[in-house]
Chain A
Amino acid sequence: MRPAKIPTEELMTSGHLACQGCGATQAMRFALKAMGPKTALVIPACCWSVIDGPFPHTSLKVPICHTLFEAAASTASGLKAGLEMRGDTETVVMAWAGDGGTFDIGIQALSGAAERNEDIMYCCYDNEAYMNTGIQRSSATPVGAWTTTTPVAHYKKRPKKKIIDIMAAHSIPYIATASVAYPQDLIEKFRRAREIKGTRFMHVLAPCPTGWKLAPELSVAMARLAVTSRVFPLIEVTDNGSTWKVWKDFEQTPVADYMKPQGRFRHLTDKEIDSIEEEVDRNWQIMLSRERLSADLPGLER
């Protein structure tokens, strides 16, 4: 990773309504540093509907069009079209949705917008459950996790939905994952995405101390461990879904180091964590094989 210049300008102010250690606010702060003031946000129902602040306040210095839970991508499509027809071709419209609004209720509108290759950015800040309503499982909740709807006796048995695979299958020009523990990388990726035309999908892991049952001061450390344990690889998918690039320049850490500090995984036995690590490893290998495969593909200019 190359160091990126992080702008000093703050487009997010203090006085927002997030919990302590909230990854979603860190994600927003860094993303807006990359995006700059010529950005219009579309925020569906999610933690950020509240974090923004109640009327007449807002904690952001960019315009926000709040919208319905399942409608981030479609509202963003309409907003972008409207701005262009108004003669504003410069403003980048970015949908900013949680994992529920992306993986679950919003996936239809997202899939539609991506298939049409709408000229929008879409960022999913993923805290891996319905945190705004009080920690209910979503399809982004990882296997093994406790939530209020997957109590310890019936913890989540199914793996997290592979949203990047789904988005790559839409042949959109740019997809990236990013982490609040690597702000330079995050800012670089948002900057890169900003300059591309078409649908750009960003997936940011946003630790949620409240929902992960985690000490707030460990939020960034946990985001870093998610990457180094390869639970949440930092990748870029370009060339309309065909070229995969995986960041590997880190010292690998055990999955247990990532899971054990989090209360939501406290009930898991060492054996169960081992089997999750096996799954993590399989997914990692699949990703690397995609990277190798795309490097061998003929005919693509890189």
Chain B
Amino acid sequence: MRKVIMGNHAVSYGVRACDVKVLSAYPITPQTQVVELLSEMCASGEIDAKFIKVESEHSAMTACVGASAAGVRAFTATSAQGLLLMHEVLHWAVGARLPIVLANINRAVGPPWSIWTDQNDSLSQRDVGWLQIYCESNQETQDTIVQAFKIAETVKLPVMLVLDAFFLSHTFEIVDILEAKDVRKFLPPYVAETKIDVDDPHSFGNLGSPSEYFELRYMIQKAMEEARDVVKDVDIEFKEHFGRGYGVVHPYRCDGADVILVTSGTVASTTRAVIDEMRDEGIKIGSLKIRLFRPFPVEEVYEVLSKAKKVAVIDRNISFGHHGIFFQEIKSALYGRTDVPIFGYITGLGGRDVTPKVIREIADRAVSDEKQERDINWIGVKV
């Protein structure tokens, strides 16, 4: 069934298809429609799940931890301050190896209060050990929820999918809605290997001495490395079932491109329009969308970018005192393997529109031989 739905509802429909047993969430703009529709779906019996309407995001994530520890699928959605309040629990979910799925609607962090998009909320959770997948369309959002549970349960790590506030969360697009009966063939009911069970009692999460902790962290990293392949395999398998796949990166017109713009989220689609326009003008330019951020798809990125003469990374985020975060990641992925120059561009913070004009400005600067800052170029900042 095809429906015109908003990005947030694409999240809800994805969850509906996944046999999720426990939902727990706290409302925050711009995430609210995700949980409103899920509440209705639970109330109508469309989803057979318990929805715990908690008093904070910290409790939302700890309720998911409890539910996941019981051995069932658990889901939550949040944004910005909510994600930051969950931070402590995000770590816990990783250490406990719980396959929770979370949808984060990228929203700028206050002060000043902002409800508009940028990526600093999710990117500041870079090192907690969650997989992060950045979505670009409503179809991709719904489909990625389904993929996320399969990935999470395979590598025993939680997965965060990320979508831009308003530009995606509140944008209506046609989505081919997934039905649970079809998804079940791709994502069978979850059987947890370990769980809280009175017939097989264990103590989970108790004191780990230095003689165990180190190894447990090593195992998380190994799971993350394994996840690089699992994300790809799950995407291929999803495509076999449903005819749609997304890859871990998405190169666009990169063949023979001298300059490649690196993007993520909804900026990727705007960028492709600009690429088309510039290609029509005979400029050899392409773009690379990063879909999988953690684990970082180093090989796929290298494969595409090493063939370019210049790389321009567009960041809707900033690591204060250093650079754009995607810029850092790209630089570290290519380090020592190629000497292609990489330029960093910061734009669109706090929901400032990243229009084709903005992208064109970045592209023109990247293409031109004019001298510019290598690491950080601010686009559109009025100072």
Query: CB within 8 Å of B: which residues of A?
Result: 37-40, 42, 49-50, 52-55, 57-58, 60-68, 70-71, 73-86, 88, 91, 108-109, 111-112, 115-116, 118
Contacts and interface: CB of A to CB of B under 8 A. Distances in A.
Nearest to B64: A78
Nearest to A109: B59
Interface string B116-148: 000000000000000000000000000000000
A53 B63 CA distance: 25
A82 B203 contact: no
B50 interface: yes
A63 B205 contact: no
B197 interface: yes
Interface in B47-101: 48-50, 52-56, 58-60, 62-72, 74, 88-89, 92
A52 B203 contact: yes
A277 to B, nearest CB: 38
Interface string B175-216: 000000000000000000001111011111111110010000
Contacts of B198: 37-40, 62-63, 88, 91
A82 B99 CA distance: 13
Interface residues of B, number: 44
B24 to A, nearest CB: 6
B62 A75 contact: yes
Contact of B66 (A39, A70, A76): A76
B285 to A, nearest CB: 48
A88 B205 CA distance: 22
A268 to B, nearest CB: 36
Per CB-CB distance, the 4 closest pairs between chain A and chain B, nearest first, are A82-B70, A78-B66, A112-B55, A78-B63
B69 A82 contact: yes
Prevailing SS type, chain A contact patch: mixed
B203 A58 contact: yes
A81 B88 contact: no
A109 B71 contact: no
B207 A65 contact: no
A66 B203 contact: yes
A65 B204 contact: yes
Contact of B49 (A39, A58, A75, A85): A85
B21 interface: yes
A139 B3 CA distance: 54
B196 A40 contact: yes
A57 B62 CA distance: 24
Nearest to A111: B55
24 contacts: A38-B198, A40-B198, A52-B206, A55-B206, A55-B209, A58-B201, A58-B206, A60-B203, A63-B196, A63-B198, A63-B204, A65-B66, A65-B204, A75-B65, A75-B66, A78-B52, A81-B50, A81-B66, A82-B67, A82-B196, A83-B196, A86-B195, A112-B56, A118-B52
B59 A108 contact: yes
Contact of A83 (B48, B70, B88): B70
B52 A68 contact: no
Contacts of A81: 21-22, 50, 52, 63, 66-67, 70
Contact of A74 (B62, B74, B201, B203): B62
